[in-house]
Amino acid sequence: MSYDMGKNYKLTLFGQSHSQSIGVVIDGIQAGYEINYDLIRRNMYRRRPGKNKYSTPRKELDEFKIVSGEVDGVTCGAPICAIIENKDKKSKDYDDIRDKPRPSHSDYPAYVKYQGHNDIRGGGQFSGRMTAPMVIAGSIAEDLLQQRNVRVFSRVKQIGQAHDVEVDYSTIDLDRLEKLKNDDLPTLDDQAKAAMQEEILKVKEEEDSIGGIVEVVVLNMPVGYGQPRFHSVESQLASAIFSVPAVKGIEFGSGFKAAEMRGSEHNDPYYYDGDQVKTKTNNHGGVIGGLTSSMPIVFRVPVKPTSSIGKVQDTISLKNKTNTQLKIEGRHDPSIVPRAAVALEMVTAIAILDLLIEGDKER
């Protein structure tokens, strides 16, 4: 089913953007795990809408409730079910879209697939709102990864023409990465952040939107996890990453720049650091032959501009079967990139934990 993810650490999403509630069922957590509620709350706050001038004004506190699978905060072996109530809904803002599908949104293909019964309110089950319960599952996965000393971080690498600095994740100070988790617009360079904020506020004033690139890194991943071919680390991560709305691609390590390089430039020479095998460079992005190499897993994800914008756009009338125009009402992010970064970090944690559990079975 398209709302399921994972083999060993499994989750199922339910709900829509304007349904009474949204939530997630998580299976695969052993009994006796003490749920880290504080970590879930912190990550939920990072993703939450309406808390700054460059996100949607929709005010959702994203207060969650775990309704099964735990006793006094400790898992009991049953599946965990967590729900989030949708409170700040303005469904009437979407009335016009029932007839006039938004350009570059799921409205039209969903209309055809579901014979006109699709929920267009806030984007229904296609909405970025559905990443909120994914953050709950991702936060639990992150906590379980931390117990293995595996860390996952994300940052906004680019918005429009504003770029963050280049870094070497094999030598970067961990405290520098930790600060990203307390930032609404996580960058490593403050000047880059200011330039990105300027890009977002400019398009907001023009009733437009803008996209960007999110970079995700996984540190301390042990060597030899994953499978060749169809169940490679890249395949598993790509599947998870594309579950986040607005994602348009993924590249690992040097990515598309590899097309411009020679083998002598792209190859990552091995060396011993004590008894650990490392590579002098990391063009492979931490994955070789579908398996982890023990180097940082690094990948970048382009996120498209938010499709719901205030400008008048050409579209069609499904009722009249004519060409027409649409002026979208409602509350939307001028750039979804900062909030998408949190969701991408969380689904990465889910996929990595699933890979580790599977690899442990083989050892």
Binding-site sequence positions: 47, 53, 289, 304-308, 331
Annotated binding site for NADP(+), which residues?
A: 47, 53
Question: What CA dihedral angle connects 270, 274, 276 and 280, to 10 degrees?
Answer: -30
Q: Annotated binding site for FMN: which residue ranges?
A: 289, 304-308, 331
Between CA 344 and CA 327 the distance in angstroms is 30
Whether the Cβ atoms of residue 204 and residue 198 lie closer than 8 Å to each other: no
Q: How far is CA 119 from CA 85, 111, 112, 128, in A?
A: 17, 9, 12, 14
DSSP 173-219: -HHHHHGGGG-SS--S-HHHHHHHHHHHHHHHHTT----EEEEEEEE
Backbone angles phi, psi at 283, to 5 degrees: -65, -25
Of 300, 355, 292, 352, give the one whose Cα is nearest residue 142: 352
